[in-house]
Amino acid sequence: MLDTSAIHQLVRRNRQRDAVFAIIGLACMMIGILTLAVLLAGLIDDGARRLNWSFFENFPSRRAARAGILSAIVGSSLVMLITALTAIPLGVGAGIYLEEYARRNWFTALVEINVTNLAGVPSIIYGLLALGLFVYALDFGQSILSAGLTLALMILPVIIVSTREAIRAIPAAIREAGYALGASRWQLVRDHILPYSAGGILTGIIIGLARAIGETAPIITIGALTFIAFLPDAPFTAEFPFISFEWIKSPFTVMPIQMFNWLSRPQAAFQENAAAAGLVLVVMTLVMNGLAIWLRIRFRKRIKW
Amino acid sequence: MVDTQSRQPAVRIAAGDAPAELKPSVLKAEVRNLDFWYGSVQALRQINMRIEQARVTALIGPSGCGKSTFLRCFNRMHDLQDNSVYAGEILFQPDNVNILDRSVDPIEVRMRIGMVFQKPNPFPKSIFENVAYGLRVRGQNNRFELADRIEMALREASLWNEVKDRLQDMAFNLSGGQQQRLCIARALATEPELLLFDEPTSALDPNATANIEDLIHRLKDKVSILIVTHNMQQAARVSDYTAFMYLGELVEFGATRALFTNPAMKQTEDYITGRYG
């Protein structure tokens, strides 16, 4: 005779445990989300009033009401430009080399371990390294160039790792198909590996840049100024050769440093400025991360294995 | 002890099949004392065999016997792994070049020997670009020339009528059988001298399998074919010669009909009568 009541009891107990875990999971999720929401709401509450057009087009000032983030936004953008221009080719190139060209031996294993470890090195260490290397040894000074290179160095491991992961996601069968047709390594990389991994690589790049844009410690270490009332030279000029690189040597400030500077002042009005600048910074990172997600979805839709 | 009952051939060969061994044929490749190692593991031992031009040669044997490993020696696919070691020769005709020689660039070998894989592996590109890729690799970028060669290759692979109105569609929108014929067209477009098939129908339904077998039958006038299959009936249906491999060695090689009706070796007989494998 089948004991149906025992089965009934067992299922009921399992269901109860199921429900308990569902509640715990929900609670974990809500704690994370609510904390973020409260933080964001606090920023909006403190800073939203200061967000008007003049806040974006004013230089910092001793009077909180007239202070703005123009030099910080321009500084952040130019530093990001240098970071992107150096970190993207170096990181993607290194990732492709390690994945497609390098033979597997003790040397590549060592490089691999080091790259992964570098991704976890505290950012202030990069600042110290950059102070010695870029600012003094190479004599780039406390410039946009030094800051851009420092952040590039910092996000290089992120880009290398995400490039390699994106390339690894391409099935071996696709590689074999290309090689079987007589393609060289470079032809395979150019025609297949890069196009098919572009989504993952771009995602890694943007996540790296989003991390770099909010980074404060290494930039302070190399000596960014906190009060800048002028803009770097324009990259375009009226005379031949129309492009100028003077701006890369210019002193600068960036968004998180401007924020840090305002936060350290006692006046409530400056605290409001800091919150407003924080809001702008959060929106900038959100936009970048959103772009990364959008790119990932777009590329995934186009490519099926 | 040989059991006389099991001498019955497992596969009946169609009466209309002309015995290939009677027709004169031309040597396309000769394998001499081939050994192959994955690192320190020897996967192939002292293989000797001949591949004839305009014939289909089938490699059969239980899984893990080295038949795919052997096939992949022909287009130096093992070179993609760092620890692969070849010894011996595969002399490719008409120029009598040893395609395993270190001085021979594997890319040059792959320019002459095409391959179709176990699972259809089209590129995530359009149908047109898939077939065009081999030609593009060879520097052919003229649109009209490409269009001509692609139509020819798709016709040869009996896919043209199904795709001629949607050459710009993604290859992934085709069915599995169509994808495999696309991969065959992709290989044919480069006009290879020898075409390698690595269990080309194992991922396909019976209908698509029949299509591919028909295709192989028709292609052999144009190109020499070497096909790995785990399906003995398929070997009997499509091939002129069959090689039976076991544990990395070539046990028996001969005209397909003779090998299936009158195997010389006990191991071959056991395998084709389904006693193991």
Q: How many CB atoms lie within 10 A of CB B202?
A: 14
| B137/A182 Cβ within 8 A | yes
Cα dihedral sign, A142-A146-A150-A151? positive
Residue A184, domain CATH:
1.10.3720.10
Could you tell me if B121 lies within 8 Å of chain A, comparing CB atoms? Answer: yes
Could you tell me if A302 lies within 8 Å of chain B, comparing CB atoms? Answer: yes
**B76 pLDDT higher than 80:** yes
Q: Considering the domain boundaries, does residue B92 fall inside one? A: yes
Say if residue A76 is in the same domain as residue A210. yes
| A177/B121 Cβ within 8 A | yes
Q: Which residues contact A197 (CB under 8 A, 6 or more apart)?
A: A163, A166, A167, A169, A170
Give the pLDDT of residue B269: 87
Could you tell me if A171 lies within 8 Å of chain B, comparing CB atoms? Answer: yes
Give the chain B residue whose CA is nearest to the CA of A192. Answer: B123
Mean pLDDT across A105-129:
87
Closest Cα in chain A, distance from residue B82 (Å): 7
**A301 pLDDT higher than 80:** no
Give the pLDDT of residue B153: 92
The string of pLDDT tens digits covering residues A239-291 is 667 666 677 777 777 888 888 888 888 887 788 888 888 888 888 888 888 88
Say if residue A259 is in the same domain as residue A297. yes
Q: Which segments within chain B are labelled E, that is strand? A: 27-38, 41-52, 56-60, 84-92, 97-98, 113-116, 194-198, 224-228, 241-246, 249-255
Closest Cα in chain A, distance from residue B131 (Å): 10
Contacts of A184 in chain B (CB under 8 A): 107, 137
Strands B27-38 and B41-52, sheet pairing: antiparallel
The string of pLDDT tens digits covering residues A203-223 is 888 888 888 888 888 888 887
Give the chain A residue whose CA is nearest to the CA of B110. Answer: A182
Q: Considering the domain boundaries, does residue B277 fall inside one? A: no
Domain that holds residue B189: 25-272
The string of pLDDT tens digits covering residues A66-86 is 777 777 888 888 888 889 899
Which value does ipTM take for this structure?
0.85
Q: Considering the domain boundaries, does residue B245 fall inside one? A: yes
| B134/A182 Cβ within 8 A | yes
Say if residue A83 is in the same domain as residue A11. no
Measured distance CA(B48)–CA(B52) in Å, rounded: 13
Contacts of B132 in chain A (CB under 8 A): none
Say if residue A254 is in the same domain as residue A296. yes
Strand partners, B44: B36
Closest Cα in chain A, distance from residue B127 (Å): 14
Closest Cα in chain A, distance from residue B119 (Å): 8
> Cα separations (Å) of B31 from A253, B40, B52, B89, B196?
71, 22, 11, 6, 15
Please tell me the pTM assigned to this model.
0.80
Give the chain A residue whose CA is nearest to the CA of B192. Answer: A181
Domain that holds residue A32: 4-50
Could you tell me if A300 lies within 8 Å of chain B, comparing CB atoms? Answer: no
Say if residue A62 is in the same domain as residue A204. yes
| A181/B110 Cβ within 8 A | yes
Distance of alpha carbon B109 from its chain centroid, rounded?
A: 15
In three-state form (DSSP H/G/I as H, E/B as E, the rest C), the secondary structure along B169-191 is CEHHHCCHHHHHHHHHHHHHCCC
Say if residue A143 is in the same domain as residue A23. no
Say if residue A231 is in the same domain as residue A272. yes
Contacts of A105 in chain B (CB under 8 A): 82
Could you tell me if A174 lies within 8 Å of chain B, comparing CB atoms? Answer: yes
The string of pLDDT tens digits covering residues B37-62 is 998 898 999 999 999 888 899 999 88
Strand partners, B90: B31
Q: Considering the domain boundaries, does residue B188 fall inside one? A: yes
The string of pLDDT tens digits covering residues B217-267 is 888 888 999 999 988 889 889 999 999 999 988 989 989 988 888 888 888
Strand partners, B197: B116, B227
Contacts of A180 in chain B (CB under 8 A): 75, 77, 110, 114-115, 117, 187
Cβ atoms of A174 and B121 within 8 Å: the answer is yes
**B14 pLDDT higher than 80:** no
Cis peptide before A241 (omega within 30 of 0): yes
Say if residue A128 is in the same domain as residue A45. no
Q: How many CB atoms lie within 10 A of CB A88?
A: 21
| A173/B117 Cβ within 8 A | yes
Give the pLDDT of residue B94: 85
**B5 pLDDT higher than 70:** no
Say if residue A12 is in the same domain as residue A141. no
Cα dihedral sign, B226-B232-B237-B243? positive
Given A104, A192, A302, which is nearest B123 (Cβ)?
A: A192
Contacts of A107 in chain B (CB under 8 A): none
The number of distinct structural domains making up chain B is: 1
Phi, psi (degrees; rounded to nearest 5) at B242: -135, 140
Cβ atoms of B60 and B66 within 8 Å: the answer is no
Report chain A's mean pLDDT, rounded to a whole number: 84
Say if residue A163 is in the same domain as residue A177. yes
The number of distinct structural domains making up chain A is: 2
Residue B246, domain CATH:
3.40.50.300
- Best of A98, A181, A299 to disrupt the B interface (most B CBs within 10 Å) is A181
- Best of B123, B140, B149 to disrupt the A interface (most A CBs within 10 Å) is B123
**Residue B110 pLDDT level (bands cut at 50, 70, 90):** very high
Q: Look-up: residue for tokens 């397909």?
A: B256
Contacts of A174 in chain B (CB under 8 A): 121, 123-124
The string of pLDDT tens digits covering residues B120-142 is 999 999 999 999 999 999 988 88
Give the pLDDT of residue A15: 93
**Residue B8 pLDDT level (bands cut at 50, 70, 90):** very low
Say if residue A188 is in the same domain as residue A231. yes
As to burial, measured by CB atoms within 10 angstroms (0-12 exposed, 13-18 middle, 19+ buried), residue A37 is exposed
Q: Considering the domain boundaries, does residue B88 fall inside one? A: yes
Q: Considering the domain boundaries, does residue B3 fall inside one? A: no
Contacts of B186 in chain A (CB under 8 A): 177, 181
The string over A51-80, giving b where at least 16 C-beta atoms fall within 10 Å of a residue's C-beta and e elsewhere, is eeeebeebbbeeebeebbbbbbbbbbebbb
Q: Which residues contact A176 (CB under 8 A, 6 or more apart)?
A: B77, B80, B115, B117, B121
Say if residue A147 is in the same domain as residue A185. yes
